[in-house]
């Protein structure tokens, strides 16, 4: 029975991840999530209390995964940006969920301490590398992190109007533009 | 009476712009827009046919404004990025509307020809400057445009978790990071 409950909860998270990535929080329909997970609305409210609660559970699980999957490498920031890019390519729903979170959820709940702590730790490691002369000091550490992470998301943020102009780009082309741009930022 | 109709339409567009920027398309409520514009739902459907139609009218008006306000300057791409940044700072709702458009609307309507044409024209001007030796040829023109525009939106895309780490930045600090980063891309 405990195994059943775990399995149901997991199916709900997976169905909710697809639904929220496609439609956002306001646009998501709890009954569609329940049907896709072969569950029902009562179970959703039992496990997650509300649609917002379900979104938060999905978001926290996916962000935690994303942070674990791509550790910061201060010796190779272009490679780090490339691996972030790879993550967005492999899991396009993560970038969409992060954007919905920023647009729909961020104003109504406190910033997540686990993400703040993770960012702070990354900033400290970049500062350390700057003190050791391994990284440019042209930018503050926090700004360099912001730039690298933002550049990694270059192709997740393009409009359909722009996408038509780069239809000939392979994934490798798009990746190289990201890593080259980060390398250019770091050139003394 | 024609003047009245124009004034009503304009009030609806302004109220809709605020509502859509805050809540997106799925989250927007037509009755809230009608009330804020001292109008009613019937008038909205009369002028714009549907909630999607109202969103498209808002989006097309704002994007047209944004393109007119910030002409591309191939001789000064850092300055161009800085002026795009200024536009986002002055009108934060534009970046939010563009993001909602990408998430909610882009899949269900054809890409807007006017924006494609505007982008294509910018790419041609960058190509021309590259041929004349005025701009780096390290990136294709279309990729350089993508990078510059994306960097200009650096601070519109930061999560609340990241924002807490850069709370001490002034607007001038944030602008300088954008223009410095674009300058670094262009350094031979």
DSSP B74-132: TT-HHHHHHHHHHHHHH-HHHHHHHHHIIIIIGGGSPPPHHHHHHHHHHHHHHHHHHHT
Min Cα separation A46/chain B (Å): 24
Min Cα separation B10/chain A (Å): 25
Output the pLDDT for position B2: 61
Query: What's the rounded Cα separation, in Å, for the pair B179 and A87?
Result: 28
How do residues A85-101 score in pLDDT, each as one tens digit? 999 999 888 889 989 99
Residue A48, domain member (yes or no): yes
Assess contact for B49 and B62: CB atoms under 8 A: no
How do residues A114-140 score in pLDDT, each as one tens digit? 888 889 999 999 999 999 999 999 999
How much of chain A, in percent, has pLDDT values that exceed 70?
98
Min Cα separation A177/chain B (Å): 7
pLDDT tier for residue B1 given thresholds of 50, 70 and 90: low
Query: What's the rounded Cα separation, in Å, for the pair B168 and B185?
Result: 26
pLDDT tier for residue A1 given thresholds of 50, 70 and 90: low
The tokens for B9 are: 């339409």
Q: Are residues A40 and A74 in the same domain?
A: no
Q: Are residues B22 and B98 in the same domain?
A: no
The DSSP secondary structure of chain A, one letter per residue, reads -HHHHHHHHHHHHHHHHHHHHHHHHHH--HHHHHHHTT--HHHHHHHHSSHHHHHHHHHHHHHHHHHHHS---TT-HHHHHHHHHHHHHH-HHHHHHHHHIIIIIGGGSPPPHHHHHHHHHHHHHHHHHHHTTSS--SS-HHHHHHHHHHHHTGGGS--HHHHGGGTT--HHHHHHHHHHHHHHHH--
The residue among B159, B167, B168, B188 with the most chain A CBs within 10 A of its CB, best to mutate, is B159
Query: What's the rounded Cα separation, in Å, for the pair B123 and B130?
Result: 10
Q: Are residues A125 and A174 in the same domain?
A: yes
Nearest-by-CA chain A residue for B147: A154
How do residues B124-166 score in pLDDT, each as one tens digit? 999 999 999 999 999 999 999 999 999 999 999 888 888 889 9
Q: Are residues B128 and B178 in the same domain?
A: yes
Chain B residues 143-162 with CB within 8 Å of chain A: 143, 146-147, 150-151, 153-154, 157-162
Query: What's the rounded Cα separation, in Å, for the pair B138 and B151?
Result: 17
Residue B144, domain member (yes or no): yes
Residues in chain A within 8 Å Cβ distance of B144:
none
Residues in chain B within 8 Å Cβ distance of A147:
151, 154, 177, 181
How much of chain A, in percent, has pLDDT values that exceed 90?
72
Residue B64, domain member (yes or no): no
Residue B62, domain member (yes or no): no
Q: Are residues A80 and A141 in the same domain?
A: yes
How much of chain B, in percent, has pLDDT values that exceed 90?
72
pLDDT tier for residue B105 given thresholds of 50, 70 and 90: confident
Single out the residue in B57, B84, B102 at which a domain terminates: B57
Assess contact for A73 and A80: CB atoms under 8 A: yes
Output the pLDDT for position A157: 86
Query: What's the rounded Cα separation, in Å, for the pair A104 and A96?
Result: 12
Residue B173, domain member (yes or no): yes
Chain A residues 159-178 with CB within 8 Å of chain B: 159-166, 177
In this structure, which long-range contacts are made by residues A111-116, counting pairs with CB atoms below 8 Å and at least 24 apart in sequence? A111/B159, A111/B160, A111/B161, A111/B163, A111/B164, A112/A60, A112/A63, A112/B161, A114/A60, A114/A64, A115/A63, A115/A67, A115/B159, A115/B161, A116/B161, A116/B164, A116/B165
Report the length, in residues, of chain B.
188
Look at A176 and B107; give whichever has higher pLDDT: A176
Residue A65, domain member (yes or no): no
Residue B72, pLDDT > 60, answer yes
Single out the residue in A34, A58, A82 at which a domain terminates: A58
Assess contact for B22 and B97: CB atoms under 8 A: no
Output the pLDDT for position B63: 74
Residue A2, pLDDT > 70, answer no
Q: Are residues B80 and B156 in the same domain?
A: yes
Residues in chain B within 8 Å Cβ distance of A159:
98, 101-102, 106, 111, 115
Single out the residue in A11, A31, A58 at which a domain terminates: A58
Of B41, B52, B56, B51, residue with least CA distance to B8: B41
How do residues B27-61 score in pLDDT, each as one tens digit? 999 999 999 999 999 999 999 999 999 999 999 88
Residues in chain B within 8 Å Cβ distance of A164:
111, 116
Q: Are residues A45 and A125 in the same domain?
A: no
Of B130, B152, B150, residue with least CA distance to B141: B130
Assess contact for B33 and B53: CB atoms under 8 A: no
Q: What is the mean pLDDT of chain B?
A: 92
Q: Are residues A80 and A40 in the same domain?
A: no
Residue A187, domain member (yes or no): yes
Residue A124 sits in which domain range?
Answer: 70-188
Residue B81, pLDDT > 70, answer yes
* Facing A119 at nearest CB: one of B101, B139, B165: B165
Assess contact for A21 and A97: CB atoms under 8 A: yes
Q: Are residues B157 and B81 in the same domain?
A: yes
Q: What CATH number has the domain bearing residue A24?
A: 1.10.10.60
Q: Can you list the positions of beta strands (E) in B122-182?
A: none
Output the pLDDT for position A125: 97
Look at B73 and A4; give whichever has higher pLDDT: B73
Query: What's the rounded Cα separation, in Å, for the pair B97 and B58?
Result: 9
Mean pLDDT, to the nearest integer, of B110-127? 90
How do residues A14-68 score in pLDDT, each as one tens digit? 999 999 999 999 999 999 999 999 999 999 999 999 999 999 999 988 877 776 7
Q: What CATH number has the domain bearing residue B128?
A: 1.10.357.10
Q: Are residues A153 and A94 in the same domain?
A: yes
Q: Are residues B92 and B31 in the same domain?
A: no
Query: What's the rounded Cα separation, in Å, for the pair A107 and B69?
Result: 29
Q: Are residues A19 and A48 in the same domain?
A: yes
Nearest-by-CA chain A residue for B95: A103
Residue A13, domain member (yes or no): yes
Number of domains in chain B: 2
Residues in chain B within 8 Å Cβ distance of A115:
159, 161
Residues in chain A within 8 Å Cβ distance of B153:
157
Which of helix, strand or coil describes residue B176?
helix
A29 touches chain B (CB under 8 A): no
Of B82, B95, B102, residue with least CA distance to B181: B82
How do residues B168-188 score in pLDDT, each as one tens digit? 999 999 999 999 999 999 997
């Amino acid at each position: 029975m405990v195994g059943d409950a775990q399995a149901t909860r997991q199916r709900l998270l997976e169905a909710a991840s697809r639904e929220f990535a496609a439609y956002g929080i306001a646009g998501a329909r709890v009954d569609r999530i329940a049907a896709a997970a072969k569950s029902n609305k009562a179970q959703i409210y039992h496990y997650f209390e509300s649609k917002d609660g379900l979104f938060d559970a999905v978001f926290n699980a996916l962000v935690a995964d994303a942070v674990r999957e791509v550790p910061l490498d201060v010796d190779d920031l272009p490679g780090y940006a490339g691996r972030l890019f790879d993550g967005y390519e492999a899991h396009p729903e993560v970038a969409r969920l992060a954007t919905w979170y920023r647009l729909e959820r961020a104003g109504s709940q406190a910033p997540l301490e686990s993400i703040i702590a993770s960012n702070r730790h990354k900033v400290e490691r970049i500062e350390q590398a700057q003190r050791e002369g391994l990284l440019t000091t042209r930018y503050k550490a926090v700004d360099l992190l912001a730039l690298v992470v933002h550049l990694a998301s270059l192709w997740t943020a393009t409009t359909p109007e722009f996408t038509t102009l780069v239809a000939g780009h392979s994934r490798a082309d798009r990746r190289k533009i990201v890593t080259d741009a980060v390398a250019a930022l770091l050139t003394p």
